[in-house]
A and B are shown apart, each in its own frame.
Chain A
Amino acid sequence: MLSRTADNLYWLSRYVERAEYLARILDATQRLSALPLAYVGTSNEWESAVATAGCAHAFFKLYDEANEANVTDFLAFSTANSSSIRSCFELARGNARAVRTALTMEMWDAINGTWLELQRYGNGPTSREEFSRFLRWVQESSLRFDGSAYRTMLRNDAYWFSRLGVYVERADNTARILDVKYHLLLPENERVGGPLDYFQWAAILRSVSALTAYHWVYRESLKPWLVADLLILRDEMPRSLSSCYEAIVRNLNSIAGAYGRQGTTQRQARGIRTRLQNSRMDGIFQRGLHEFIGEFIVENNRLGASITEQFLT
């Protein structure tokens, strides 16, 4: 297939996935900031949200301080932020339009419908209730698009590239949450605990749709190192780094099989996957959680660059 088509499909999925992730962060932040001050302490949740979204640099070029109004606007509706929910949907729809014939009718309807609906939100909702509805709508739109792709696409390279986009983006998103909140997840002997941390951990899990999953997997109350274990090493957790890389390797293998050729990307992805499989939580903590995640983000970006170089240009 044309490199441009594959590139559009790959980024289309990435943008939709990113929009959903931003909605999840905003949702979790809204919950945290609604707690009484005694539970939350003095930390600025909105600043943390900007950092988790990975756009603190761009944000503080425009604003001196982070508060609910400007962070909500910046992450959800701003056209100045090329990674806002609005920008993500605009870019996704632009990509979809450019490769209209490579999409199934259902995928096109999903993304085009989302884009049309987005126009109705104008410069943003006026109340918190409406904003909550907006965030739910963003997540539903992403689910609808993802479901359409999963259910209707032919299982060929177009599908595999679109899946790669989902998982590379998802791995990056999960790693970013961990990167910003890593200090909350340090082992037992560090002084953590108390209501503030509890709600923060819950917020982390909620932002990756894993709160219920946590209870099913561990059957005990929230423990920070178990949160880290769930989001990094657990294959059965669909947003964990490990699970993302299982999917990335699988899709790259499908591409290699169809093209009859392995390349740098396949080797690179297998390398990351193997490292995750061979890691254990205590080892990660010994070397430093922050360092581990930092390295992962770099590796994941490098894989993204290799995919672009090997297939998309």
Chain B
Amino acid sequence: MNTVTGKMTPYKVISGIILAILTVFLVFPLYWIFTGSVKTAADINTPTPQWFPTNPTLANYEKLFDNPALLWLWNTIFIAVVAMALTCITAAMAGYVLAKKKFYGRTVIFSLIVCAMALPKQVILIPLLKEMSFLGIHDTLWAVILPTVGWPFGVFLMKQFSEGIPNEMLEAARIDGAGEIRTFVQIILPMVKPGIGALAIFTFITAWNDYFMQLIMLTKNTSLTISLGIANLQAEMATDFGLIMAGAAVAAIPILAVFLMFQKYFTQGITMGAVKG
């Protein structure tokens, strides 16, 4: 069995080389962000790039934090965490009843969910902005959070998960006299935990990176996210690459850390979201 994997065929060598090139190609931009963020302006503004930062400096970061970059970071974390928590709660509840209960209007609601998922999310941004202004929450973080929570992907995912719960367990709970809420909290939730984990990490990263929605909804300097902040810096000081890279690094580090910590759940989440009927 292992004889096949052990041999060095020309195909293997070539595919190894291509994989290596691709790896460099994808990792280099990240390397360039982090090294660029500690380079001096003189080392950056030269036609001969410096492969390693020889005079590392924190000046770019100091300049970055002259802007309310910490507040931008906090705003981003707030959006991602609140959107994640609300999505998990609402989706777990809705997914459970759509999978396990028979009630009037179930087919209609589920069809609406599937139809909405097939449409491009960005298309609704124009009316959404009007609606948020009407509600008076335009330019607050809630204007980004609420539409993220309303997006039905999470419900879809949690419905898939809840379908795996054996009906016998629900029956047993019922016979034991457990009420609806107790059944949900003590029986359903523990069983769909892996699904919630996957959905949580997925929502967190999506909300963190949903640049288009943030761009439309948030304009005040104090309600910006870190992505918007960098984009604005870039628009104002297009050639101060050191500063922009410092911003990119600050934006990338937390989300990379979250990803690397929960990588397994994340892979699960993507895979399970795809396995649909």
A and B are interacting partners: no
B-binding residues in A (CB < 8 A): none
